[in-house]
Amino acid sequence: MKILVTGGCGFIGSHFIRVIFEKRPDWQVVNLDALTYAGNLVNTLDIQTHSRYRFVYGSITDKNLVNTLVSESDIVVNFAAETHVDRSLMDNEPFILTNILGVQRLIDACVKYGKRFHHVSTDEVFGSLGPDDPKFHEKTPYDPRNPYSATKAASDHLVRAAIHSHALRGTISNCTNNYGPYLYPEKFLAIAITNIMENHPISIQGDGRQIRDWITARDHSLGILAVIEKGQIGHTYMMGGNAELSIANTARAVIKAMGARDEMLIFTQDRPGQDRRYAIDYTKINIELGWKPEVTFEQGLEQMIDWYRQNESWWRPIKQSSGYRKWYEENIGRLA
């Protein structure tokens, strides 16, 4: 079996490749990645010399390259995406190109060569939940609230259209907030952990009552593996971590786990279009495929903190780069 993983140098994609090598010893992996700011070869240092691994530098918007790689593969799993809401608010063009045009390139190639396709999406396409609303599920109407989620919603619809119009052998999964080793330090938990290590405060946008559901990237990857092997063609599967926490309480959990002071938590102006709550009902994938998250938030957070403590050589150069510091100061707050 040869699997084409797009965006495999990114956070979740690199975790998925490790799960493949661990769980499927006869599978070959081809990783196509454009190495944008969040796609880093360092994320895959431990697998780059693997005998069943091949890296290809390029974009999913490159029609000829995509056609070649898809024709040589059995399964295509798409992680490639521009993902950060704050960046989409500043410049939406990269999101439109990758998340819409790039996905259509993959769809066209999979239809042309008759390949199995799985598209990795997000819970943000469903908009925002109120405190007492039922969790997102497979029938929840789409209601994207920012350029990032709008482009992801568009790509989901393109996949479904191809399933119905062109017999694409496709599936979709929507997942809640991922965390764990290699999380790029513009995402909240990675910023929180590394800021505490640098004796900088954790900055929260708004009142901190926004609720997120947390899942480890490894648990998410195990769910995707279950879907591509056992999922029903044309179906969507939702994955959540069963770990709803407010952003403020998430920050307090980091502070407590790292032995920091409560005053390390500060509040700033909220960003435009902030969704109040995300939460996912994963009943369907649990009943049909036997998947559920294996790691509690407390366990996953401890593992993540330990990894960041042991891998300063990975995250410090990112945070010390001029581009990162400019982005942080413009969007989060000043670094000391």
Across 151-160, average pLDDT:
98
Rounded to whole angstroms, how far apart are CA atoms 288 and 24?
A: 21
| Contacts of residue 117, Cβ cutoff 8 Å, sequence gap at least 6 | 75, 76, 77, 78, 106, 107, 110, 159, 168, 169, 170, 171
Burial of 289 (0-12, 13-18, 19+ CB in 10 A): middle
Has residue 336 been placed in a domain?
A: no
Q: What pLDDT was estimated at residue 331?
A: 64
- On whether residue 276 sits in a domain, the answer given is no
Confidence of residue 336 (pLDDT cuts 50, 70, 90): very low
Q: What is the dihedral of CA 222, 129, 183, 84, to 10 degrees?
A: 120
Domain that residue 14 falls in: 2-179+215-239
Going 54 to 56 to 59 to 65, the CA torsion angle's sign is negative
Average pLDDT, integer, range 54-60: 97
| Residue 269, φ and ψ in degrees, nearest 5 | -60, 140
Mean local confidence (pLDDT), 23-43: 91
> Quick check: 115 and 169 in contact, CB under 8 A?
yes
Q: Which of 56-65, 150-159, 234-243, 319-328 has the weakest average pLDDT?
A: 319-328
Query: The dihedral of CA 88, 307, 215, 33: what is its sign?
Result: positive
| Chain centre to alpha carbon of residue 68 | 26
**Is residue 272 one of the residues assigned to a domain?**
no
Q: In terms of Cα–Cα distance, which of 60, 13, 45, 86 is closest to 324?
A: 86
For a pLDDT cut of 70, what percent of the chain falls above it?
95
Does the pLDDT at position 272 exceed 50? yes
306 assigned to active site: no
CB-CB contact of 248 with 212 (8 Å):
no
Q: Is residue 169 included in any domain, yes or no?
A: yes
Check if 329 is active-site. no
> For the residues 114-128, what does the mean pLDDT come to?
96
pLDDT at 205: 84
Instruction: Please state the separation of Cα 130 from the chain's center in Å.
Output: 23
Instruction: Please confirm, yes or no, whether 156 is among the known catalytic residues.
Output: no
Q: Report yes or no on 310 lying in a domain.
A: no
Average pLDDT over the chain, rounded to an integer: 92
The catalytic position among 124, 156, 213, 275 is 124
> Is 318 within a domain?
no
Tens of pLDDT, residue by residue over 140-152, are 999 999 889 999 9
CATH number of the domain within which 35 lies = 3.40.50.720
Q: CA–CA separation, 71 vs 62, rounded Å? A: 14
Neighbour-count burial for 92-124, b at 16+ CB within 10 Å, e otherwise: beebbebbbbbbbbbbbbbbeeebbbbbbbbbb
The mean-pLDDT minimum among 48-62, 76-90, 98-112, 295-309 falls in 76-90
Structural domain count of the chain: 1
Active-site residue identified among 53, 108, 148, 213: 148
| Residue 131 located in a structural domain | yes
For the segment 191-201, what is each residue's pLDDT rounded down to a tens digit? 999 999 999 99
Q: Does some domain include residue 187?
A: no
Which candidate in 33, 82, 108, 123 is catalytic? 123
Taking residues 170-180, report their average pLDDT: 97
Whole-prediction pTM: 0.92
